[in-house]
Chain A
Amino acid sequence: MQNTFLIRRQSVLVFIGLLALFTIGATLLSEGLGIGLVSTSFVKTLGKTLCLCLVALAMDLVWGYCGILSLGHFAFFGLGGYMIGMWLMYARTEQIVINSLANASLPPTPDELSDAIGTQIFGVVGGSDIPAVWTFAHSLPLQLALVVLVPGILALVFGWLAFRSRVTGVYLSILTQAMTLALALYLFQNDSGLRGNNGLSGLQNIPGAAAVSQDLISIWFLWASAFALGLGYLFAVWLVSGKFGSVIRAIRDDETRVRYLGYSVEAYKLVVFVITAVIAAIAGALYYPQAGIINPAEIAPIASIYLAVWVAIGGRGRLYGAVVGAASVSLISSWFTSGQVPDLPLGFYTVKWVDWWLVLLGFGFVLVTLYAPQGLGGLFDRLVRRQNP
């Protein structure tokens, strides 16, 4: 008892230590603040990977610990990105418009200003009016609140309806897929107010920091992402190591029995669903400024399935497993799809990894399911146990 708690605390220290080492190391090798061995675009990839680790952590909480196989958590990730993206795009456009109108003989009226911003942002979808959903886009604090509130309330309403009706198992998974698909299809429409399939772009440019180079901004976001991941990890460990963790693991294993113990299973599921949706949204809000662009394709159903695959490969029900799974698979994925891996000529056919990577990933997933059902984390646990029996 005492022992397992100590081990868990040790593992937390190890995790935070490794994360800090990684972040400091990447900074020292970066172009922004270091010796320039690691390119700015790769620093961004690393920062984005940390955000993916954070959303995988949320997935592990909701699936690995509470047993809810949500295949829609990327919707919350994407919504978080959209919410911060609105401010980034609006505030920067406003700055550009003000600068360009500064030389006009008459100072622009508020109407002219708003019209000019509207044309700049919504010209691509044939409009110049600023839609109502952008009401708060001028304010960073309000838009940051929306990063948490919009996905949180969506998860609350969706979860309340689904859990109250006792939808479980594969039916719930299908329902969450439907949710993310419906959201993606809605955002694809030009009149959704979020620029349809164009999405939001130029998000790497931080308003008010035009003079700061991307080399440096990439480092800021790397640190912010690392900080968020560290905080998220501490929170997750705290949540699952106490009685709350005991109850949600019990719900995963036998929810009927938990009900007869007097616990309101639906309330617990809802709490976990909403908390993880908010974590996913925060991860998304840190991810998309590094990616520079967000469009509805990001929250296509397949994205949430990848999330489940990462956690399965990493090993669910152990928080570091999710982090390892997300980091390794997404980094290998971006390596294979970047075209850096040389093609494999077989004489009769040339394997192009950009196309064949998915086959490789699928094959890897099958292998993990067959030979390491506990994922990479399970292999690691077995190794540790062999050394300290």
Chain B
Amino acid sequence: MSKNPMLLEVSGVSVTFDGFRAINNLSFQIASAELRAVIGPNGAGKTTMMDIITGKTRPDTGKITYGRPGKNLLKMSESAIARIGIGRKFQRPTVFENQSVFDNLVMALKKNRSPLDVAFYRRSQEDIKKVEDLAAEIGLTEQLHRMSGELSHGQKQWLEIGMLLAQDPKLLLVDEPAAGMTPEEREKTTDILRKAAKTRAVVVVEHDMEFVRRLNCRVTVLHEGSVLAEGSIDHVTKDQSVIDVYLGR
């Protein structure tokens, strides 16, 4: 672990919605180059956890630090958090359907994002090359100039992952990437994520145990807004409390 320093530290975070404790004293850490799966039954707080990290929801108490030296994420806006290297993929694929795959990727490329810089942006050969490489990585070379709205469900998911990779984030939060995919598409998605996790931290929220097993990584089990168990997939699936609240049902 010493060679793999901590990237994200969540400590003692709680959030309440109208009296309901969605997140209850949640603490966990993610290392700089790590693939982590987060599982848990519906309402365990998985999406709320992502909302808090990405700045959409402000917690009532707790601390989240990111990077070295640790930055306090709780004081930053969503867009600022995205700019310092935290990318997020939503549950349903959200790509800009009225624009081409190319334009979607160009928008996501890590570049200065101020309105003035963007207005005078001219795409360089280097950027075009980057976009083409990304398209090859997510298997959308053929579709590069098609409208994103014309893509299949699985292709949209990949495009969104590609847009995340284009941002070159240090931490990738991925919400149910395999939902609605065919078995072959799942396999390819697993490959893309595992490859991405070699150079950065990737957190995958998933329902599907089979998919998590294939990711072959450390697993965090959430229940009622806090960590129930953490460890390898075999470890957590043998844990009696995990079996009781989640797997046993």
List the interface of chain A (C-beta within 8 A of B). 1, 239, 242-244, 246-247, 249-250, 253-254, 257, 259-265, 267-268, 271
Contact = CB atoms under 8 A, between A and B. Distances in A.
A249 B96 CA distance: 9
B98 A263 contact: no
Interface string B26-55: 000000000000000000000000000010
B115 A244 contact: yes
Nearest to B82: A262
Given A246-B103, A271-B115, A263 B79 contact: yes
A246 B131 CA distance: 16
Nearest to B88: A260
Interface string B79-106: 1101100011010001011111011001
Contact of B98 (A239, A253, A259, A262): A253
B96 A243 contact: no
B145 A249 contact: no
A246 B113 CA distance: 13
B97 A253 contact: yes
10 closest residue pairs by CB, A with B: A262-B82, A262-B83, A259-B78, A244-B119, A243-B121, A271-B115, A264-B79, A257-B94, A250-B96, A260-B88
Given A261-B108, A264-B114, 18 more contacts: A239-B119, A242-B122, A243-B118, A243-B119, A244-B121, A246-B103, A247-B107, A250-B107, A253-B97, A253-B98, A254-B96, A257-B90, A259-B77, A260-B54, A261-B82, A262-B82, A263-B113, A264-B113
A234 to B, nearest CB: 14
A302 B13 CA distance: 50
Contact of A261 (B80, B97, B102, B167): B167
Contacts of B99: 246, 249-250
B134 interface: no
Contacts of B122: 242
B161 interface: no
B118 to A, nearest CB: 5
Most buried by A among B100, B115, B121: B115
Contacts of B100: 1
B163 interface: yes
Q: Bin the interface of chain B by size.
A: 20 to 34
Most buried by B among A243, A247, A254: A243
Nearest to B94: A257
A128 to B, nearest CB: 47
Interface in B108-131: 108, 113-115, 118-119, 121-123
Nearest to A269: B115
A316 to B, nearest CB: 13
A247 B78 CA distance: 16
B221 to A, nearest CB: 26
A112 B92 CA distance: 74
Contacts of A265: 79
Interface string B9-34: 00000000000000000000000000
B121 A261 contact: no
Contact of B94 (A239, A249, A254): A254
A243 B106 contact: yes
Contacts of A247: 107, 118
Given A250-B99, A254-B96, A261 B107 contact: yes
Contacts of B87: 260
Contact of A259 (B82, B114, B163, B167): B82
Contacts of B145: 1
A264 B116 CA distance: 12
Contacts of B113: 262-264
Nearest to B85: A262
A246 B96 CA distance: 9
Contacts of A250: 96, 99, 107
Nearest to A250: B96
Nearest to A253: B96
A308 B60 CA distance: 42
Contacts of B118: 242-244, 247, 263
Interface string B128-161: 0000000000000000010000000000000000
Contacts of B88: 260
A261 B167 CA distance: 7
Contacts of A253: 96-98
24 contacts: A1-B102, A1-B145, A239-B119, A243-B119, A244-B119, A246-B106, A247-B107, A249-B98, A250-B99, A253-B96, A253-B97, A254-B94, A254-B96, A257-B94, A257-B96, A260-B82, A260-B88, A262-B113, A263-B113, A264-B79, A264-B80, A264-B114, A265-B79, A267-B115
A3 to B, nearest CB: 9
A259 B79 CA distance: 5
A302 B16 CA distance: 44
